[in-house]
Chains A and B, each alone.
Chain A
Amino acid sequence: MHIAVQDAPFDFGMEAEEFARARAVSGAIVTFTGIVRDVDGGLRAMEIEHYPGMTEAALTEIADQAVTRWSLEDALVIHRHGRLAVGEMIMMVATAARHRKDAFEAAEFLMDYLKSRAPFWKREITQDGAEWVAARDEDEDALTRW
């Protein structure tokens, strides 16, 4: 299992390739990447704050749950913090399983949980100032399906 919380950019292609190559016997690899999007055309940057120590522990716990529940061969979570520009990759998850259904479901589970159970806070910087992104009810509701 690979968990990384970092301010530096990551190389998605290299990470995905390395993950897939090392688990080639798994049969199914799913990856997901989140990218800073500009919703209203005015976003200058996204700032991500986190809780050092708890973040790594929370991500490890969430990934452990996914590995156990979907009998994953392996899981990877990389999440950035600090200041990110529009178009930059915020985070990625990868799951390796024997069958695609498990790999897809586990990746969705990881995403749903790290959205509202890992201690990250996003702030959008626009020309009008900075605003903390509010948590959405849908994100909390998404957890109930698991």
Chain B
Amino acid sequence: MMDVLYFAWVRERIGIPREAVETQAVTVMDLVDELRAREDRYAAAFADITALRVAVDQQLTGFDAPLSGAREVAFFPPMTGG
């Protein structure tokens, strides 16, 4: 099981802030494809991944990053701090 977190408009589009996901995904992209196939709201949130950023176990990474041993994956738009 993996905790998948959503922030900002990704959270709004999917409708929940986090969920536990049963997955065999090898990379972040595999997980995205699994989520996209679930329901329209996921497909809408992940329609353009160039508009998204991802963190695996709270470290920013890329969509080709491996998920072996990962406990937490978070998807969100580019950050706007400061």
Contact = CB atoms under 8 A, between A and B. Distances in A.
A51 B7 contact: yes
A117 B55 CA distance: 11
Contacts of B78: 116, 134-135, 140
Interface string B26-59: 0000000000000000000000000000010011
A118 interface: yes
Contacts of B80: 115-116, 120-122, 132-135
Contacts of B5: 51
Contact of A90 (B8, B55, B58, B82): B82
A61 B81 CA distance: 15
B78 to A, nearest CB: 4
A3 B38 CA distance: 39
A134 B9 CA distance: 11
B12 to A, nearest CB: 8
Chain A interface size, as a band, is 20 to 34
A115 B82 contact: yes
A123 B11 CA distance: 13
Chain B interface size, as a band, is 10 to 19
Contacts of B60: 58, 117
A111 interface: yes
A115 B81 contact: yes
Interface of A: 34, 49, 51, 53-54, 57-58, 79, 90-91, 111, 114-123, 132-135, 140
Interchain residue pairs A-B with the least CB separation, the first 7:
A120-B81, A135-B78, A115-B82, A54-B58, A121-B8, A118-B81, A122-B80
Given A116-B79, A122-B80, 13 more contacts: A34-B82, A51-B55, A54-B59, A57-B58, A91-B82, A115-B79, A115-B82, A118-B82, A119-B7, A119-B81, A120-B80, A120-B81, A134-B78
